[in-house]
Amino acid sequence: MAEAGDKVADRYLLQEPIGRGGMGVVWRAHDELLDRQVAVKCARPDDDRAVARLTNEARNAARLHHPHIVSVFDFVDEGEICWIVMEYVSGGSLADMVRGRVALPPEEAASIGCQIAAALAKSHAEGVVHGDVTPENVLITEDGVAKLTDFGISRALWSEATMTQTGGVRGKPPYLPPEVARGEVADRKSDVFSLGATLYAAIEGRSPYGEASHPMAYVARAIEGYRETPHHAGPLVDALTKLLALEPKRRPAADQAVRLLRRVAPPSPQIEDLEDLEGPHDGDTLDRTPSRCGWCHRPSEGRGAARAAGWSSPRPRWASPRSWWHGPLSSAPGATGAPTRAAAPGRTAGVARPVRPTRRPGRARPAP
């Protein structure tokens, strides 16, 4: 097992471990050839899956050159153990920031989200889906620059090998898109949902699926389409609504998310340096059909609390699309004649007007 003071490829001097996970260890190291600090990640030598994931991360991340994506410098295969050499980010992760400050203001979260959305737009334009956008994988430098890291479960859209399913859910359950929870393959819009879930957690201090003691509870809520109403999002409410749309086609593309979040983010050098994208570059467009699904609220809060927060309560299962958009039909038990429409809100109630039947153009029916 590697220890501090060991050298990788006779060049990278290991100094101290800065992160551990089920797949291996991340070290802070010194590149003696170029005299710079780097981060070196190793896969567990006894885990073939970890080695394959590390190799996949190196291949996909190495083609992505963007100021908000952690750069990959080198890949070292020493036979028994593999190493990936990356840019060292001196700050902590977004998860660390939230733990230390409880929650972020919406404007600060929008600034971070805007930068990560730009990173996803670049990744998607290159045909790479990240697949694991979480607060732990968003690093923040001391200057406030956000960088996306850990492309370990990413997949190239043109690669058939990455399309196979292993029977498990890929990604962290609290940030899992509904379609991935149902067993579908993650795509560009899945990354957008996970970005929205990450920003939600940064503001609210919990997953949009609420809090649960078991990971599978998050998966079940994702499949059901359950999402809790945000109470601290403020000006970020509109952007979160779009990013966390249950149906992938209703979510914006990553470059469209940049513009949504930029409206809320305060002026800063990080935001000003982003390219002003004029149109969707990653092959996706936004479905502008009005969404009919609302946010869920906790039973103890009631409908009034949800409306006061600016969110609609869930649509009743018995409500038809017609009654949802145009008001309820009046059909009292035992009533006869044509169905009538209830008076619109704000109008004086009077005699209910009949619903006029729709005539379809066509030929006149010949007389018998």
Domain boundaries, the chain: 7-87, 94-308
Distance of CA 37 to the CA centre of its chain: 31
What class is the 94-308 domain? mainly alpha
* Torsion region of 213: left, alpha or beta (phi above 0 gives left; psi -120 to 50 gives alpha): alpha
- For position 284, what pLDDT does the model report? 55
Q: What is the mean pLDDT of the chain?
A: 76
Class for the domain spanning 7-87: alpha beta
- Measured at the CA of 43, the angle between CA 39 and CA 48, to 5 degrees, comes to 160
Instruction: Please count the other Cβ atoms lying within 10 Å of the Cβ belonging to residue 28.
Output: 18
What pTM was estimated for this model as a whole? 0.73
Q: List the chain residues with pLDDT less than 50.
A: 158-167, 277-280, 288-293, 297-355, 357-358
Known active-site residue 132: yes
Residue located via tokens 């990013």? 243
Which of 6, 10, 48, 132 is labelled catalytic? 132
Looking at residue 291, its pLDDT comes to: 45
**Tell me, what's the pLDDT at 150?**
83
